[in-house]
Chain A
Amino acid sequence: MHFLQPTTWDEALEARAGLPDALPVAGGTDVLVDLNFRRRHAPALIDLGRVPGLGEVSAENGWLRIGAAATYDRLMTALRRDFPALAVAARTVGSPQIRHRGTIGGNLGTASPAGDAHPPLLAAGAEVEVASRAGTRRIAIADFFTGPKRTAMAPGELISAVHVPRASGPQQFAKVGTRNAMVIAVCSVALALHPDRRRVGTGIGSAGPVPLAAVEAERFLEGVLDEGGLWEAPRPLGDAVRGRFADLVASAARPVDDVRGTAAYRVHALRVLAGRVLDWAWADYLEAGAGREVGAG
């Protein structure tokens, strides 16, 4: 096995092009598990840890650019205001040791249906920036995952960054696990309210072959908020709206029975979590009060 340690992004793309079966490694928190248990044999490893600036987080024209090598502990602090759902989700990943090494690019590359970053990225409408020697392209997050541990990336491509609009309203994330920390999600839900464009975004994790958006729940809540003039003059939503939203989130899931939980449990838990994230997000929206930027109806 070869070990390559490119010191520039161009060198990394060159290495990737020359060794299509090589395994890229950033924090190593997924890859090393496979190597330690000999589940994976790659002819070469490409360590991306020496590429300068690959973990930078920057803002431009109302969007954030989150470098692929940004670690969870960095996301927890850097995104608190501009992408709070991901900041919260990052805090639920592993332990301090794992959050210090694991990266958002690695979470996307592994493409586990249980990846904690994925529901917030779906709710926020993120785009994944991938690059090869041929150039750079962006993939909408909803098109990025093509199956369990499979992505829309082409051979020779590396994940360079994630782009996401800066939060214009409340965002929440909730996850069920077998304990309060250090767990892989049994299921998870992210919710983002986007008053600037009068949209609602959702993401469901660990309850389908890929992370999913609950599109019908999004359209339902947008309809309620538009028809009631609630974007401009928010009032409590009431139990009927809460219940319908939670049902639509749960019905968007396509879960299976596995070692972490049954499909029936996941549907139940998603309904509970969806109600909670809506309560929290709407309470935040009510509290923020007047003066917010609401898009044209």
Chain B
Amino acid sequence: MKLSLTVNGEQRVIDDVDAGESLLTVLRDSLGLTGTKNACEQGECGSCSVYLDDGLVCSCLVLAGQAEGAEVVTVEGLAARGELDPVQEAFAQAGAIQCGFCTPGLVMAVHDLLQRVPDPSDGQIREELAGNLCRCTGYQKVISAVRLAAGRTNGHHGY
């Protein structure tokens, strides 16, 4: 089937989408947006987190057809003007990156968290990021990055 949606501010049309295909495979395999990672395919790890009409979702758990007509923002869309989003800057500054695989999903999750809770407590940070796994176990620096980014975010998507 044919799918039409907005990705990072750009209208995209994709032919030949399978009914059972996820939004994640469309983003990665059809559109080449490989910043969104594929790991667990069951909503446990959060590495495929994207905005779907302003709500954070695991794109592996959304049927491509459910995104028809929707606005999707991926990690590539956060720095679309060539300038890093404050959340991305904070991750770099805090060194909240080891192998880097979980980083795009965590950046999206932190971006979403700070839009909803601009100044989260440590407890809130831990609870809100529970759906993003870092198997290098670099959580302490991720939490430092959230603290750094809190107050710096402009609350808008980058594109």
Contact = CB atoms under 8 A, between A and B. Distances in A.
B61 A96 contact: no
Contacts of A3: 1, 19, 63, 65
13 contacts: A2-B19, A5-B65, A28-B61, A45-B65, A95-B43, A96-B109, A96-B128, A97-B131, A98-B61, A100-B55, A100-B57, A101-B61, A181-B130
A23 to B, nearest CB: 9
B103 interface: no
- Top 4 A-B pairs ranked by shortest CB distance? A95-B131, A181-B130, A3-B19, A36-B41
Nearest to A49: B66
A59 interface: no
Interface in B44-87: 44, 46, 49, 55-58, 60-63, 65-66, 68
Contacts of B112: 96
Interface string A35-79: 111000000110101000000000000000000000000000000
Given A95-B132, A181-B130, A101 B62 contact: yes
A29 interface: yes
B57 to A, nearest CB: 6
A2 B128 CA distance: 36
Interface of A: 1-3, 5, 25, 27-29, 32-33, 35-37, 44-45, 47, 49, 94-98, 100-101, 179-182
Q: Which of B19, B20, B113, B132 has the most CB of A within 10 A?
A: B20
Contacts of A181: 126-127, 130-131
A49 B55 CA distance: 14
Contacts of B137: none
B56 A28 contact: no
Contacts of B62: 28, 32, 101
A44 B112 CA distance: 33
